[in-house]
A = this chain, B = another copy of it.
């Protein structure tokens, strides 16, 4: 089911998912180019062809893509917070740059684009939990609107020009190589602060429920999407199980054997209370299932953070 993609380029290779994906691809023997603006873990990309460039620079993008058959599009230039503060900037960096990517890919004869969309924000406040792919898409963040627009343009490019694609609406991934950014990567933030014995600010009251998925399971899904021969285009990638932030905190406290120091702050308007996605489609069509339990994923993540100090 999961076969090795022929020759691939990872856009956004310097980040969390990108680093993990490149390492997996190299280990599986694939020829892989790692494209990114900055690389958080350059030494971890050994065996990949590292190409430094900006996603919003069409000339760099075209030079990097030429000769590659599968494009993994993992770039998100903004965060849910920053996108809402500058929606036009978000459209320019995310949507317009992705349209340039589509045009370049078509011109260069790319065989498939695998796009990482967001299972966490694309549905907005969903009526059905866990939320299936067919649910209405009413994001309450500009970040989600951009992801949705890119999905629609992918479908349009296939319709008009035959450019093949798959979309993975990934829930909340966590694991090694995730560095907490402002308002993102809560598990990484909790673990790293705890190990440094520092306090952490958290928005909301801890009742927010999310679908946390361990990164190796996401990488499996990306590989499966790259070789999928079905007629399906959009897949939720999560666990189908929700965890409140308080449960996450308790689980980390159990594994670390210490109490986390938390400063609670008022909730943010871009947060939906509950986001859990249904993953039956990926199981049925891709033969993909998440294999790592939450506790096991936590253990690996904690182990990775410990190995860094």
Q: Contact residues of A with B, CB < 8 Å? A: 84, 87-88, 91-92, 95-96, 99-100, 103, 134, 136, 138-142, 145, 148-149, 152-153, 155-156, 159-160, 269-270
Copies of chain A in the complex? 2
- Contacts A/B (CB < 8 Å), 17 sampled: A84-B160, A87-B103, A88-B96, A88-B99, A91-B95, A91-B96, A95-B95, A134-B136, A138-B152, A139-B152, A139-B156, A140-B155, A140-B159, A140-B160, A145-B152, A145-B156, A149-B149
Q: Which residue of chain B lies nearest to A160 when distances are taken between CB atoms in the complex?
A: B269
Q: How far is the CA of A160 from the CA of B92 in the complex (A)?
A: 21
Q: How far is the CA of A96 from the CA of B142 in the complex (A)?
A: 12
Beyond A84-B160, A88-B100, 11 additional contacts (C-beta under 8 Å) are A87-B99, A87-B156, A88-B99, A91-B96, A95-B95, A134-B136, A140-B155, A140-B159, A145-B152, A148-B149, A159-B269
Give chain B residues whose Cβ lies under 8 Å from the Cβ of A100. 88
- Asked if residues A153 and B160 are in contact (CB atoms below 8 Å), the reply is no
Q: How far is the CA of A136 from the CA of B87 in the complex (A)?
A: 25
Q: How far is the CA of A216 from the CA of B140 in the complex (A)?
A: 35
Give chain B residues whose Cβ lies under 8 Å from the Cβ of A95. 91, 95, 149
